[in-house]
């Protein structure tokens, strides 16, 4: 089924909603269309409010979900950053499940479950205040949090806690969906969970302003309260045709397979560079969602933000290779190339990084 503001359905809208829904596990089968990831996140929040009749939300530290006022309030990356006003009273912040820098490490088989205890504590804090949780918002792999791939079992434990308390679970796939992780179309599938609401943006239109929210019939029914969802441009015939073309390209050019192969090439090459450059503390990721954390000391994990910024600038200036920096300490190189990247492109990027690390290490 589909939801749209358009009173007169165009075949593209119906066809795209059907094709998109087919990529999701049941019962995720209702599509709402938007024009940006921020709009989609805002709509997901409205759905959660209507489904639960509550307004308190648990988020992960340093998360960014969008730029509307309601979603800035769910984004520690913004409200705890420059110009921010701190955490709103209806929001609780869970710890980043970072198995490299955090208290629990990736070699702990219970790492994911232990980090999920932080979500449980935040839910309990809401309950102790006499309120109930509406939703848990979490990226399926953390982008602004430092390219952190969630440890096994994290979402399963966190989702169970939130659902037991009456809340819904929202997966933000804006940065890591549409096959970027290689092994599956959606990054949440690597956690063996099914969210209640999924937010889509960025790659959905390959640069065209298109976004979506996918949810269950039950949540969509709760949202059908008479207020309606109105969006002037969402679901128009052109955007739906573009969405269909993106799905066709992902399928016809085998881009999930390419993400897997090029991701393995990246990780292998980056780990070889880690042996050469002590500045590289950690290499992590899956498919074409990769992070390289730079540290001054591998024992103390002292962050190296100046070096990370210098490396990114060097790669852009001298090699025309674009990477960015992020994470709570701005010391993680974010590697998220186009999914059509070739083996030669990956090798070029690795050579550029090697050169940048060598030169920046001697200059700083």
- State percent of the chain over pLDDT 70: 97
Using CB atoms within 10 Å of the CB of residue 192, give its burial: 0 to 12 exposed, 13 to 18 middle, 19+ buried: exposed
What is the pLDDT confidence band of residue 283, given thresholds at 50, 70 and 90?
A: very high
With a cut of 70, say whether residue 1 has pLDDT above it. no
Task: Look up tokens 């290689």; give the residue.
Answer: 182
pLDDT at 147: 96
What does the alpha-carbon distance between residue 249 and residue 78 come to, in Å, rounded to a whole number?
34
Average pLDDT, integer, range 106-133 = 97
pLDDT at 230: 82
With a cut of 90, say whether residue 136 has pLDDT above it. yes
DSSP three-state, residue 13: helix
What does the alpha-carbon distance between residue 56 and residue 167 come to, in Å, rounded to a whole number?
9
pLDDT at 256: 98
C-alpha count within 13 angstroms, C-beta hemisphere, residue 159: 18
pLDDT by residue (tens digit) across 174-202? 999 999 999 999 999 999 999 999 999 99
What Å distances lie between residue 50 and 37, 108, 166, 195, CA to CA? Answer: 20, 38, 12, 17
Strand partners, 361: none
C-alpha count within 13 angstroms, C-beta hemisphere, residue 221: 3
How big is the CA angle at 113 (ends 178 and 95), to the nearest 5 degrees? 75
Task: Look up tokens 């709570």; give the residue.
Answer: 328
What does the alpha-carbon distance between residue 214 and residue 243 come to, in Å, rounded to a whole number?
14
- The answer for 287, left when phi > 0, alpha when psi is -120 to 50, beta otherwise, is left
pLDDT by residue (tens digit) across 13-47? 999 999 999 999 999 999 999 999 999 999 999 99
């Amino acid at each position: 089924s589909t939801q749209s503001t358009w009173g007169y359905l165009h075949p593209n809208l119906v066809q795209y909603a059907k094709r998109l829904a087919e990529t999701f596990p049941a019962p995720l089968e209702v599509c709402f269309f938007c024009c940006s990831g921020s709009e989609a996140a805002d709509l997901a929040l409205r759905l959660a409010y209507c489904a639960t009749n509550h307004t308190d939300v648990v988020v992960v530290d340093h998360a960014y979900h969008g730029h509307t006022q309601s979603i800035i309030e769910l984004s520690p990356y913004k409200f705890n950053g420059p110009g921010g006003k701190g955490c709103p009273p209806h929001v609780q912040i869970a710890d980043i499940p970072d198995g490299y820098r955090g208290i629990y490490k990736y070699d702990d088989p219970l790492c994911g479950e232990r980090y999920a205890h932080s979500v449980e504590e935040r839910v309990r804090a809401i309950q102790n205040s006499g309120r109930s949780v509406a939703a848990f918002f979490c990226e399926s792999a953390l982008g602004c949090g430092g390219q952190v791939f969630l440890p096994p079992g994290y979402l399963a434990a966190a989702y169970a806690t939130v659902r037991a308390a009456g809340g819904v679970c929202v997966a933000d796939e804006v940065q890591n969906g549409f096959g970027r992780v290689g092994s599956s179309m959606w990054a949440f599938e690597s956690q063996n969970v099914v969210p209640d609401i999924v937010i889509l943006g960025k790659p959905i239109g390959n640069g065209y302003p298109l976004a979506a929210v996918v949810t269950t019939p039950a949540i969509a029914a709760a949202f059908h309260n008479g207020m309606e969802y109105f969006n002037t441009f969402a679901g128009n015939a052109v955007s739906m045709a573009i969405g269909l073309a993106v799905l066709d390209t992902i399928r016809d050019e085998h881009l999930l397979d390419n993400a897997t192969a090029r991701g393995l090439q990246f990780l292998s090459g980056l780990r070889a560079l880690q042996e050469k450059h002590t500045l590289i503390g950690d290499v992590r990721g899956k498919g074409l969602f990769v992070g390289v954390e730079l540290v001054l000391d591998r024992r103390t994990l002292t962050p190296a933000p100046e070096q990370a910024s210098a490396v990114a600038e060097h790669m852009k200036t001298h090699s025309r290779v674009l990477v960015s920096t992020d994470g709570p300490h701005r010391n993680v190189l974010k590697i998220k190339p186009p999914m059509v990247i070739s083996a030669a492109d990956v090798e070029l990027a690795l050579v550029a990084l090697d050169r940048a690390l060598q030169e920046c290490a001697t200059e700083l």
